[in-house]
Structure 1
């Protein structure tokens, strides 16, 4: 495991955040089962990945220096 990636592209981070959110929802009476957590994690990760790609494109288009 020598490759690195930004924290916001980590499935572990998003799964942990969703687990905490599901536990909190359970405390206030909302039921979130394990299958819903997996789907939610995958959906959020796909959205974040898409947004990261859009930001990268915008940043490249607005850059002042050439890629060399």
Structure 2
């Protein structure tokens, strides 16, 4: 596996986190269906991607220094 991505872009990570939350909710007598879990994973991944993009733009706009390329 050569391709790299941020942890928040991983559906596996979000799926695992949502499964943990679903287990805790089930323990509290609140049940999420399989369809709800799948839709929640997709929504979280989309939101995380959008937030990552916004953070990148904000970081570049508010940066105090230029990017230096070392050769």
Same fold (TM over 0.5): yes
- Does residue 40 (structure 1) correspond to residue 26 (structure 2)? The answer is no
Specify every segment of 5 or more residues in structure 1 that has no aligned partner in the other structure, as ranges: none
Q: Alignment RMSD, CA only? A: 1.4
TM-score, normalization by structure 1: 0.90
TM-score, normalization by structure 2: 0.87
Residues 27 and 18 of structure 1: CA distance in aligned 2, closer, same or farther (over 3 Å): same
CA offset digits 1:10-68 (Å, max 9, x no partner)? 11000000001111111110011111000000001101100000000011112220576
Aligned length: 68
Hey, which of these two has a bigger chunk of helix by percent?
A: 1
Specify every segment of 5 or more residues in structure 2 that has no aligned partner in the other structure, as ranges: none
